[in-house]
Amino acid sequence: MNKTIQIDSLDKIHEAAREFILQMGNATVFAFNGEMGAGKTTFIKAICEELGVEENITSPTFAIVNEYTSNKGLTIFHFDCYRLKNIREAYDIGAEEYFYSGKLCFIEWPEKIEEILPEHCVNIYITVQPNGSRNVDING
């Protein structure tokens, strides 16, 4: 699956999230790459809302992982690995168990834990364009 989704503005993010969901297929682990401020958390939040999560969706910066349940019973794990100091901390929270659980896993700052990401992980690259829009490149 190689596709680019364009997010022209914040008010079009849910449209982009719906398009992303259509591209997910059977994949469950998604690594969101992008510079600070690229919109990783905002896009993941929109995806979760489109999947039926009604609770407050926030960045798990300090908790490392948040768990959400959609109104359809879908479990989603949202990781923010930015504050991890080393790979050992990922092992300590049981990251591998989440990745192989069959549940949806959305991972921010995956480069911090690259060595334990499963082979079936789909890489997402969010890049800010000169006009402020975002390109979401799906490679998996």
* Segment 63-91, tens digit of pLDDT: 899 999 999 999 999 999 999 999 999 99
Domains present along the chain, CATH in parentheses: 2-139 (3.40.50.300)
Rounded-to-integer distance, Cα 36 and Cα 20, Å? 21
Task: Reply yes or no on whether the pLDDT at 10 is more than 80.
Answer: yes
pTM: 0.94
Burial class (CB in 10 A: 0-12, 13-18, 19+), 96: middle
